[in-house]
Protein backbone atom coordinates (compact mmCIF):
# COMPACT_ATOMS: atom_id res chain seq x y z
CA UNK A 1 0.00 0.00 0.00
CA UNK A 2 2.76 2.43 0.96
CA UNK A 3 5.25 1.31 -1.68
CA UNK A 4 4.69 4.31 -3.96
CA UNK A 5 4.26 6.85 -1.16
CA UNK A 6 7.01 9.15 0.10
CA UNK A 7 7.73 9.53 3.79
CA UNK A 8 5.92 12.87 3.65
CA UNK A 9 2.86 11.28 2.06
CA UNK A 10 2.82 8.53 4.69
CA UNK A 11 3.03 11.15 7.43
CA UNK A 12 0.14 13.12 5.92
CA UNK A 13 -1.79 9.87 5.56
CA UNK A 14 -1.53 9.02 9.24
CA UNK A 15 -2.23 12.58 10.37
CA UNK A 16 -5.41 12.50 8.26
CA UNK A 17 -6.46 9.18 9.78
CA UNK A 18 -5.80 10.46 13.29
CA UNK A 19 -7.91 13.59 12.78
CA UNK A 20 -10.74 11.76 11.02
CA UNK A 21 -10.80 8.96 13.60
CA UNK A 22 -10.78 11.36 16.56
CA UNK A 23 -13.62 13.54 15.26
CA UNK A 24 -15.58 10.43 14.25
CA UNK A 25 -15.50 9.00 17.76
CA UNK A 26 -16.10 12.36 19.43
CA UNK A 27 -19.18 12.84 17.23
CA UNK A 28 -20.66 9.59 18.56
CA UNK A 29 -20.15 10.87 22.08
CA UNK A 30 -21.55 14.34 21.43
CA UNK A 31 -24.67 12.96 19.74
CA UNK A 32 -25.25 10.52 22.61
CA UNK A 33 -24.82 13.41 25.04
CA UNK A 34 -27.40 15.48 23.17
CA UNK A 35 -29.81 12.54 23.30
CA UNK A 36 -29.48 12.09 27.05
CA UNK A 37 -26.65 9.61 27.59
CA UNK A 38 -23.71 11.09 29.49
CA UNK A 39 -21.52 7.96 29.52
CA UNK A 40 -19.03 9.43 27.04
CA UNK A 41 -18.77 12.65 29.04
CA UNK A 42 -18.27 10.74 32.29
CA UNK A 43 -15.47 8.71 30.67
CA UNK A 44 -13.76 11.79 29.21
CA UNK A 45 -14.55 10.95 25.59
CA UNK A 46 -16.15 14.29 24.67
CA UNK A 47 -12.74 15.45 23.53
CA UNK A 48 -10.66 16.03 20.41
CA UNK A 49 -7.60 14.52 22.10
CA UNK A 50 -6.57 11.76 19.63
CA UNK A 51 -4.92 9.72 22.38
CA UNK A 52 -8.37 8.98 23.79
CA UNK A 53 -9.35 7.20 20.56
CA UNK A 54 -6.23 5.06 20.20
CA UNK A 55 -6.24 1.41 21.23
CA UNK A 56 -2.80 -0.22 21.29
CA UNK A 57 -4.03 -3.50 19.82
CA UNK A 58 -6.63 -2.51 17.23
CA UNK A 59 -5.42 0.96 16.21
CA UNK A 60 -1.65 0.40 16.12
CA UNK A 61 -0.59 -3.25 16.24
CA UNK A 62 -3.34 -4.63 13.98
CA UNK A 63 -2.62 -2.47 10.89
CA UNK A 64 1.13 -2.88 11.46
CA UNK A 65 0.89 -6.68 11.46
CA UNK A 66 -1.34 -6.65 8.36
CA UNK A 67 1.16 -4.46 6.48
CA UNK A 68 4.03 -6.75 7.50
CA UNK A 69 2.17 -9.77 6.07
CA UNK A 70 1.26 -7.90 2.88
CA UNK A 71 -2.45 -7.71 3.64
CA UNK A 72 -4.73 -4.70 3.29
CA UNK A 73 -4.33 -2.71 6.51
CA UNK A 74 -7.30 -1.55 8.54
CA UNK A 75 -7.68 -0.32 12.06
CA UNK A 76 -10.36 -0.01 14.72
CA UNK A 77 -10.44 3.04 16.97
CA UNK A 78 -11.24 2.75 20.65
CA UNK A 79 -15.04 2.95 20.62
CA UNK A 80 -17.02 5.46 22.65
CA UNK A 81 -19.17 3.67 25.21
CA UNK A 82 -22.89 4.34 24.92
CA UNK A 83 -25.73 3.28 27.22
CA UNK A 84 -28.72 2.84 24.89
CA UNK A 85 -31.15 2.83 27.83
CA UNK A 86 -30.38 6.50 28.45
CA UNK A 87 -30.99 7.63 24.88
CA UNK A 88 -34.09 9.41 23.63
CA UNK A 89 -36.03 7.78 20.76
CA UNK A 90 -34.91 4.24 21.68
CA UNK A 91 -33.37 2.41 18.69
CA UNK A 92 -33.72 5.47 16.48
CA UNK A 93 -31.68 7.42 19.02
CA UNK A 94 -28.98 4.78 18.80
CA UNK A 95 -29.17 5.02 15.01
CA UNK A 96 -28.56 8.78 15.23
CA UNK A 97 -25.54 8.16 17.45
CA UNK A 98 -24.22 5.62 14.96
CA UNK A 99 -24.72 7.92 11.98
CA UNK A 100 -23.05 10.89 13.69
CA UNK A 101 -19.58 9.42 13.20
CA UNK A 102 -19.71 8.76 9.44
CA UNK A 103 -21.53 12.03 8.80
CA UNK A 104 -18.74 13.91 10.58
CA UNK A 105 -16.23 12.27 8.22
CA UNK A 106 -18.30 13.26 5.20
CA UNK A 107 -18.45 16.87 6.40
CA UNK A 108 -14.67 16.87 6.92
CA UNK A 109 -14.21 15.63 3.34
CA UNK A 110 -16.56 18.36 2.05
CA UNK A 111 -14.60 21.03 3.93
CA UNK A 112 -11.32 19.71 2.50
CA UNK A 113 -12.85 19.71 -0.99
CA UNK A 114 -14.03 23.31 -0.65
CA UNK A 115 -10.62 24.49 0.57
CA UNK A 116 -8.93 22.59 -2.27
CA UNK A 117 -11.20 24.10 -4.92
CA UNK A 118 -10.86 27.63 -3.56
CA UNK A 119 -7.08 27.42 -3.27
CA UNK A 120 -6.24 25.14 -6.18
CA UNK A 121 -4.06 27.82 -7.86
CA UNK A 122 -2.28 28.93 -4.69
CA UNK A 123 -1.71 25.74 -2.70
CA UNK A 124 1.79 24.28 -2.49
CA UNK A 125 2.42 20.55 -2.94
CA UNK A 126 2.20 19.66 0.75
CA UNK A 127 -1.03 21.59 1.26
CA UNK A 128 -2.66 20.14 -1.85
CA UNK A 129 -1.52 16.61 -1.06
CA UNK A 130 -2.79 16.86 2.50
CA UNK A 131 -6.21 18.07 1.40
CA UNK A 132 -6.53 15.28 -1.18
CA UNK A 133 -5.46 12.58 1.30
CA UNK A 134 -7.62 14.08 4.03
CA UNK A 135 -10.68 14.07 1.78
CA UNK A 136 -9.97 10.55 0.51
CA UNK A 137 -9.51 9.07 3.98
CA UNK A 138 -12.61 10.72 5.40
CA UNK A 139 -14.68 9.55 2.42
CA UNK A 140 -13.38 6.03 3.10
CA UNK A 141 -14.33 6.28 6.79
CA UNK A 142 -17.74 7.63 5.79
CA UNK A 143 -18.59 4.84 3.35
CA UNK A 144 -16.97 1.94 5.22
CA UNK A 145 -18.66 2.74 8.51
CA UNK A 146 -22.06 2.98 6.82
CA UNK A 147 -21.89 -0.67 5.74
CA UNK A 148 -24.73 -2.35 7.70
CA UNK A 149 -22.62 -5.12 9.22
CA UNK A 150 -22.41 -5.32 13.04
CA UNK A 151 -20.76 -3.61 14.80
CA UNK A 152 -20.14 -1.00 12.07
CA UNK A 153 -22.14 2.21 12.41
CA UNK A 154 -24.42 1.40 9.50
CA UNK A 155 -25.81 -1.54 11.46
CA UNK A 156 -27.33 0.92 13.98
CA UNK A 157 -29.75 2.17 11.36
CA UNK A 158 -30.52 -1.41 10.31
CA UNK A 159 -31.26 -2.33 13.94
CA UNK A 160 -33.87 0.44 14.05
CA UNK A 161 -35.60 -0.73 10.86
CA UNK A 162 -35.08 -4.51 10.66
CA UNK A 163 -37.59 -7.16 11.80
CA UNK A 164 -36.84 -9.12 14.96
CA UNK A 165 -35.42 -12.21 13.20
CA UNK A 166 -32.82 -10.06 11.42
CA UNK A 167 -32.00 -8.30 14.68
CA UNK A 168 -31.41 -11.68 16.34
CA UNK A 169 -28.89 -12.62 13.65
CA UNK A 170 -27.17 -9.25 13.96
CA UNK A 171 -26.97 -9.61 17.74
CA UNK A 172 -25.27 -12.99 17.35
CA UNK A 173 -22.75 -11.50 14.93
CA UNK A 174 -22.08 -8.51 17.17
CA UNK A 175 -21.62 -10.77 20.22
CA UNK A 176 -18.44 -12.05 18.56
CA UNK A 177 -16.89 -8.64 19.21
CA UNK A 178 -13.65 -7.90 17.38
CA UNK A 179 -13.77 -11.31 15.70
CA UNK A 180 -16.80 -10.14 13.70
CA UNK A 181 -14.70 -7.30 12.25
CA UNK A 182 -11.93 -9.73 11.30
CA UNK A 183 -14.43 -12.05 9.62
CA UNK A 184 -15.92 -9.15 7.71
CA UNK A 185 -12.61 -7.72 6.54
CA UNK A 186 -10.88 -10.99 5.68
CA UNK A 187 -13.79 -12.99 4.26
CA UNK A 188 -16.63 -10.67 3.22
CA UNK A 189 -15.21 -7.27 2.31
CA UNK A 190 -13.28 -8.64 -0.68
CA UNK A 191 -16.62 -9.32 -2.44
CA UNK A 192 -17.78 -5.70 -2.12
CA UNK A 193 -14.41 -3.96 -2.23
CA UNK A 194 -14.61 -2.94 -5.92
CA UNK A 195 -17.98 -1.12 -5.74
CA UNK A 196 -16.96 0.45 -2.42
CA UNK A 197 -13.71 1.78 -3.88
CA UNK A 198 -15.49 2.98 -7.02
CA UNK A 199 -18.04 4.88 -4.93
CA UNK A 200 -15.23 6.46 -2.91
CA UNK A 201 -13.51 7.54 -6.14
CA UNK A 202 -16.69 9.08 -7.56
CA UNK A 203 -17.32 11.11 -4.41
CA UNK A 204 -13.68 12.21 -4.25
CA UNK A 205 -13.73 13.34 -7.89
CA UNK A 206 -16.97 15.24 -7.27
CA UNK A 207 -15.56 17.05 -4.22
CA UNK A 208 -12.21 17.90 -5.77
Report angle CA 112, 117, 120 to the nearest 5 degrees: 110
Cα–Cα distance, 59 to 61 (Å, whole number): 6
Q: Which residues contact 68 (CB under 8 A, 6 or more apart)?
A: none
User: CB atoms < 10 A from the CB of 178, how many?
Assistant: 13
Closest CA to 8 of 173, 113, 126, 184: 126
Residue 51 sits at the vertex; the CA angle it makes with 50 and 54, to the nearest 5 degrees, is: 95
Alpha helices in the chain (DSSP H): 7-34, 39-42, 62-68, 90-118, 125-145, 154-161, 164-174, 178-183, 189-207
The answer to whether the peptide bond before residue 151 is cis (omega within 30 degrees of 0) is yes
43 is catalytic: no
The active-site residue, picked from 25, 43, 91, 136, is 25
Q: Which residues are catalytic?
A: 25
Amino acid sequence: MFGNMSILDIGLFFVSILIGMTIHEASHGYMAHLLGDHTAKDEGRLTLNPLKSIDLLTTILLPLVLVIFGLMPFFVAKPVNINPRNLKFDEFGLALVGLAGPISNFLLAVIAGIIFRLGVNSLNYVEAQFLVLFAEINISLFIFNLIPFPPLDGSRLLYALAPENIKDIMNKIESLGFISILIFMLLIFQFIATPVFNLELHILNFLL
